[in-house]
Structure 1
Amino acid sequence: MVADPLTARSAVSHVAAADGIALALERWRGERSPSLLFAHGFGQTRHAWNGAARALAAQGYDAVTFDARGHGGSDWVPRGEYHMEQFVDDLLRVASVSTSSDGRRPVMVGASMGGLLGLVAAGEADPDHPPFSALVLVDITPRWETKGVERILGFMRAHPDGFADYDAAASAIEAYLPHRRERKTEAQLKPLLRQGDDGRLHWHWDPALLDGVVAESERYQPQLFQAAARVKVPVLLLSGARSDVVSSHTVDEFLRLVPHARHVSLADATHMVAGDANDAFTNEVASFAETLSRS
């Protein structure tokens, strides 16, 4: 019997990265193996996974979410010096504390930036000792559609002075995601915003990220292709049929690089797959994890 997701409970802790940065981690304890490790997209927080983590925890899975450095409850890097290698190291550190009680490495579920970090971590690891037992890539491939990424970055840069109140932030999200039927409530927005010294509400990520990771993204693309070609663990690619970041072209290219990967397109989803179609997304992840637990 599947438990009510609303009854699922989590605990928040912090894990120290190699350079001392504190990473905020949230864990829903379960007994099913392997555990599920969720890595969010650029500019998001671990709360992007709340619906999926609760639902999967209600099915007995051990679910772990965390805030990448510079995001949410994790520390910002001094002087704003962010590089992809730091994020990959952080992901490996969190993976090491997300191992199931039976010793199995977690299934890494990564959206957008989180998925790219997972590819690098898995592809560059010792093939005999992979950091993950499998990968779920959520609407991301080593090559992305530039127009879609520019739209996302445009939204992230659109409010440098923040918002006067939660209602203003909700209106901004509503304009950015017009297909969403429900307007964000203050309770839903609180984990996504922080109050600045100016008294205004700002997104819960370090603005310096836009000048660091984003500026270097094109430089990393050859590394992403090479890493993807070396991934040996089971891979599931979940894409949004209405996404402007992943296309049939980038999916086909990825499947040639990783021929053992399985691809599922979710009809009602844009790039924000879990937010747009959480039930369908959760079902696909649970089904994939079930096949792994039997292997």
Structure 2
Amino acid sequence: MSNDAYSTEPDRLTFHGYGGLDLAGDSWGPQDGPLVVFLHGGGQNRHSWKDSGLALAKAGLHAVLLDARGHGDSAWAPDGDYRREAMVGDLMGVLEQLGRPAILVGASMGGLTSLIATTHPRHDLITGLVLVDVVPRTERAGVQRVLDFLSSSPEGFASLEEAADVVAAYLPHRRRPRNPEGLQRNLRRRSDGRWYWHWDPAMMSGKGEDIDLHTAALEDAARKLTIPVLLVRGALSDVVSEEGVAAFRALVPQAEYAEINSAAHTAASDANDEFTDVVVDFVRAHVQVK
């Protein structure tokens, strides 16, 4: 790890997850700073948190950004195992390899993994939890829209511009970027010359799962939370409703809550500065920063 806590480039990490699967990560900030581990949503990767990682490093925190199995630079599960149990196993393996407790920041899929992980026998490695636009009782239509997007375009795209059009239709609340080059973090060009989403299609079939089937387990995990908790919701979200927030806060009355007015389900990237400020304030309130 670099001695420069303000480096604009992270250190690359490799972990061994559930079943020995290789997982990629980035490390930002001082090694001895309070540890914050970020877990992205389905179809995303660790680069979704880049600006947050740099901001936390500047605040004296040590941020680790993970690529989930089947995403980014992490290995694809050879047996197609993307069950919640496998992802929790990945996370707990990473925490054990990091060797000290961490506050978890999880968006969507990463939030569900983080919440279930608090019931793991080694839950002592989790000292705080930030859930980003995810609760046990989500809105069916919003979840289905996310799943439909992740399952779309199996034939790939002829150009980055074509892919950008699909993303713009999926995220109508965002201004379409003039330059689609940033999408290369989420796409790979294959030998046929076409661009394909860089996540394992098996995530959407086989041993994947529908989060709706696990509401009871998620609510049970929420009910047992005793660590500091922050729920962040995008006010424009169609996945987490005000009713879903109220139900969660009834289960976790000690939870703190923040709503980002200009954000939707992809809250962290929709309004990154506001989101990062909320996370930094939460971590500073619950750990001692040098």
The alignment's TM-score, normalised by the length of structure 1, stands at: 0.90
Q: Name the structure 2 match of 1:239.
A: 233
Give yes or no for the alignment of 1:284 onto 2:273.
no
Instruction: Please give the alpha-carbon distance, in whole angstroms, between the structure 1 residues aligned to 2:10 and 2:272.
Output: 19
Distance change >3 Å, CA 164–CA 19, structure 1 → 2: same
Identity %: 41
- Structure 1 residue 197, shift from structure 2 partner: 4.4
Instruction: Please give the alpha-carbon distance, in whole angstroms, between the structure 2 residues aligned to 1:134 and 1:60.
Output: 17
- Structure 1 residue 116, shift from structure 2 partner: 0.8
Instruction: Please give the alpha-carbon distance, in whole angstroms, between the structure 2 residues aligned to 1:184 and 1:120.
Output: 39
Instruction: Please give the alpha-carbon distance, in whole angstroms, between the structure 1 residues aligned to 2:239 and 2:205.
Output: 20
Instruction: Please give the alpha-carbon distance, in whole angstroms, between the structure 1 residues aligned to 2:209 and 2:17.
Output: 23
Matches for 1:226-265 after TM superposition, within 5 Å:
226-265=220-259
Give yes or no for the alignment of 1:112 onto 2:115.
no
Choose the corresponding residue for 2:159, options 159, 165, 186.
Answer: 165
Contact 1:145 1:247 in 2 (8 A): yes
Contiguous gaps of at least 5 residues in structure 1: none
Q: Name the structure 2 match of 1:268.
A: 262
SS of the equivalent of 1:162 reads: coil
Distance change >3 Å, CA 184–CA 286, structure 1 → 2: farther
SS of the equivalent of 2:126 reads: coil
The alignment's TM-score, normalised by the length of structure 2, stands at: 0.92
Instruction: Please give the alpha-carbon distance, in whole angstroms, between the structure 2 residues aligned to 1:236 and 1:213.
Output: 30
SS of the equivalent of 1:133 reads: strand
Instruction: Please give the alpha-carbon distance, in whole angstroms, between the structure 1 residues aligned to 2:39 and 2:132.
Output: 10
Distance change >3 Å, CA 31–CA 124, structure 1 → 2: closer
Distance change >3 Å, CA 197–CA 150, structure 1 → 2: same
Contiguous gaps of at least 5 residues in structure 2: none
Q: Name the structure 2 match of 1:81.
A: 81
Q: Name the structure 1 match of 2:287.
A: 293
Distance change >3 Å, CA 134–CA 184, structure 1 → 2: farther
Instruction: Please give the alpha-carbon distance, in whole angstroms, between the structure 1 residues aligned to 2:47 and 2:214.
Output: 27
- Structure 1 residue 20, shift from structure 2 partner: 1.6
SS of the equivalent of 2:49 reads: helix
Give yes or no for the alignment of 1:148 onto 2:138.
no
The RMSD of aligned alpha carbons is 2.1
